Amino acid sequence: MKEGIIRIENLTKIYTMGEMKVNALRGVSLKIDEGEFVAIMGPSGSGKSTLMNIIGCLDKPTSGSYMLDGIAINGLGDNELAEVRNKKLGFVFQSFNLLPRIPAVEQVELPMIYSGVANRRQRAMEALAMVGLSKRAGHKPTELSGGEQQRVAIARALVTNPSIILADEPTGNLDTRVSEEIMVLFQELNGEHGITILMVTHESDIGAHTKRRVNVRDGRISSDELVESPLQATERLKTMPKPESENGNGENGIQTGSAAVAGR
């Protein structure tokens, strides 16, 4: 039996605010294998982000155990947690989290500066090529569309060759077509490059692109099921009207398959 790249058992998280305690997680157990593409769904306040933050080593649980790729995360200090984050995980957020005045290529270089990697420019350009944005490398966030900004953020998450991508509402600020383009990218990263993806979403349409749907309710997992035939984003995209600005230069849309892979 496979060990599971993520294995959490009986996780709880209590936030204490003065006299008040919030039971954000009330005993969550979850095993995720390498190569899975999982949607985490559930109502607002049910504990999805809390769970993702713990899985992402950004926060610690109150109790319970967490193994990530064979490493016992519970016993680690802050520096070791940061190291695990850098080596294994890539993050994508709803609000892109880009720095305002910096060109795309430099945003993508940032995680490599923290970890002291060489060939940073080349690797950043390869990651931008993977998300179909080579021609926007010199653009600052204000000079990019929302979908392009999210693709820069995905390139930044990819550039360190993570085994897992954690995405919290990655399409929350994007319209339908652009969301579908992000799903094209995620399905390609998962299907062709074998990257394990965990994605929080409250949109059932977006969740239907994954292979497995985990529902969280009131701090617990309420259901966990395989998605029988996931929606295929490349197919769906063909049925959606193209935006007015599309000028056919080959880099406005997502390139599938042919793009360079950063070190994989």
Ligand X SMILES: Nc1ncnc2c1ncn2[C@@H]1O[C@H](COP(=O)(O)OP(=O)(O)OP(=O)(O)O)[C@@H](O)[C@H]1O
Please give the residue ranges that form the binding site for ligand X (CB under 6 A): 15, 17, 22, 24, 42, 44-50, 202
Task: Name the residue nearer to Mg ion (CB basis): 24 or 127.
Answer: 24
- Minimum Å gap between C-beta 210 and ligand X is 17
Find the shortest distance in angstroms from Cβ 5 to Mg ion.
Answer: 22
User: Minimum distance from CB of 200 to ligand X (Å)?
Assistant: 7
Stretch that binds Mg ion, among 3-11, 17-25, 46-54, 113-121 (CB under 5 A): 46-54
Spatial neighbors of 206 by CB under 8 A, at least 6 apart, are 39, 171, 179, 183, 199
Q: What is the C-alpha separation between 152 and 150, in angstroms, rounded? A: 5
Q: Are 147 and 178 in contact (CB under 8 A)?
A: yes
Asked if residues 47 and 98 have their Cβ atoms less than 8 Å apart, the reply is: no
Provide, rounded to whole angstroms, the least separation between the CB of residue 129 and Mg ion.
Answer: 31
Q: Measured from the CB of residue 115, what is the shortest distance to ligand X in angstroms?
A: 27
Looking at beta carbons only, is 45 or 194 nearer to Mg ion? 45
Around 184, how many Cα atoms within 13 Å sit in the side-chain half-sphere?
Answer: 21
For the chain, the first-to-last Cα distance in angstroms comes to 26
Contact range with Mg ion by CB under 5 A, out of 18-26, 48-56, 108-116, 144-152:
48-56
Residue written as token pair 């929080």: 200
CB of 213 to ligand X, least distance (A): 15
Task: Confirm or reject binding of residue 46 to Mg ion (CB under 5 A).
Answer: no
The entry of Mg ion, ligand X, none near residue 258 (CB within 5 to 8 angstroms by kind) is none
Exposure string for 125-152, b = 16+ CB within 10 A, e = fewer: bbbbbbbbbbebbebbbeebeebbbbbb
Contact call for residues 54 and 60 (beta carbons, < 8 A): yes
How many whole angstroms separate alpha carbon 146 and alpha carbon 141? 9
Binding partner at 207 among Mg ion, ligand X, none, C-beta below 5 to 8 Å by kind: none
CB atoms within 10 A of CB 107: 24
Select from ligand X, Mg ion, none the partner in contact with residue 99, using the beta carbon and a kind-dependent cut-off of 5 to 8 Å: none
Q: What does 187 bind: Mg ion, ligand X, none (CB cut-off 5 to 8 Å by kind)? A: none
Q: Which H helix or E strand runs over 177?
A: helix 176-191
- Residue 45 binds which of Mg ion, ligand X, none (CB < 5-8 A, kind-dependent): ligand X
Nearer CB in complex with Mg ion: 91/136: 91
Which one of residues 49, 171, 179, 187 is an interface residue with Mg ion (CB under 5 A)? 49
**Within 13 A of 248's CA, how many CA atoms are on the CB side?**
0
The interface partner of residue 22, options being ligand X, Mg ion, none and the CB cut-off 5 to 8 Å by kind, is ligand X
Q: Which does 72 bind (CB under 5 to 8 A by kind): ligand X, Mg ion, none?
A: none
Q: Which residues bind Mg ion (CB under 5 A)?
A: 49
